[in-house]
Structure 1
Amino acid sequence: MRVTKRTNIAMRVLMYCAAHTDARVTKSDIARSCNASEHHLGQIVNQLATLGFLDTWRGRYGGIALARPASEISLGSVFRELEAPVPMAECFDEAANTCPLITACRMKPALAAAAEAFYASLDSVTLDTLIDDNAPLVAIFGGGRSEPPPFRTARVASG
């Protein structure tokens, strides 16, 4: 199984936000630290906000922050949301499948079971596991981890 670039960048965004729980962050800060296009990153931030992983605010005091504590965000849930819609093989895409073996092939159920095992193994890993006691990563992100602010305003689905 190969992780898409979109999921890879999404995980960078979530880790960056988890390393900066003391303040809202900006797309440009994340793009700079994570070596990502700000435009592409903006699309991913919007998707993560729509999925409920991020809160976003517009305007002068706007920014991005985790929608819930890092300890409540499992990698399995993030990967399922972002990777599951991408067909693992041609036979998983009913609209574009041209494989002549589909009625007799036993590979599809084996691949489906392997994918579920992959996601299940990530269910026990939470975002805080990637950040806590990981000073080198936090240093790359230029952040100091502290407790999240006690009050958050309403979420806006745009970054």
Structure 2
Amino acid sequence: MRLTVYTDYSLRTLMYLGVRGQEHLATIQEIADAYQISKNHLMKVTYDLGQLGYIETIRGRGGGIRLAMAPEEINIGGVVRKTEEDFHLVECFNPESNLCKISAECQLKGALNEALKAYIAVLDSYTLADVITTKDALANLFGITRN
């Protein structure tokens, strides 16, 4: 299973904001600089994370973004489900475009589906808090000064 860049950037944004802390606002440019990724890509990601209720955006001078809930309340599996377009690991997972000749008798689809469920189940067992336990080290890598 490979996550899209969109999901990767969504998770990275949440991690950055989790390390930054809910009492501090961050900017999209700040996050883009920390990861050395495109600000334009992050603009859509942050907008969508706001629509999903994961982050809060504050407009105006001195504005920015922050987590809308505690890191313990943000489930990694839930974020992945909401940010991935689909989970079509192979052609036959998409009934609308499946042209595979062996689909009716293929046993691989079942095995892959079982693996996908296990993958998501593992992600469901983690929260954002679980993946940012080394906040000071991460803050140092991000160039964030923590109080």
Report the TM-score when normalising by structure 1. 0.82
> Equivalent residue for 1:6?
6
Identity of aligned residues (%): 37
Q: Which amino acid aligns with 1:64?
A: I
> Equivalent residue for 2:112?
111
Q: Which amino acid aligns with 2:99?
A: T
Q: Which blocks of at least 5 consecutive residues in structure 1 are unaligned? A: 147-159
| 1:19–1:144 Cα contact (<8 Å) kept | no
Q: Which amino acid aligns with 2:52?
A: L
Report the TM-score when normalising by structure 2. 0.88
Q: Which amino acid aligns with 2:9?
A: I
Counterpart check, 1:129 vs 2:130? yes
| 1:18–1:145 Cα contact (<8 Å) kept | no
Distance 1:66 1:134 in 2: 15
> Equivalent residue for 1:156?
none
Secondary structure of 1:18 counterpart: helix
Structural mapping, 1:18-37, within 5 Å: 18-21=18-21, 22-37=23-38
- Where do 4+ consecutive residues of structure 1 move more than 4 Å? none
| 2:18–2:71 Cα contact (<8 Å) kept | yes
**Deviation of residue 5 (structure 1)?**
1.5
Matched residue pairs, number? 146
**Deviation of residue 84 (structure 1)?**
6.0
Deviations 1:78-124 (A, max 9, x none): 11222362422111222222212222222222212211111111222
RCO comparison, higher one (Cα < 8 Å, 6+)? 1
Q: 1:92 to 1:145 in 2, by over 3 A?
A: farther
Distance 1:75 1:55 in 2: 18
Structural mapping, 1:75-114, within 5 Å: 75-83=76-84, 85-114=86-115
Bigger proportion of residues as helix? 2
Structural mapping, 1:118-157, within 5 Å: 118-144=119-145
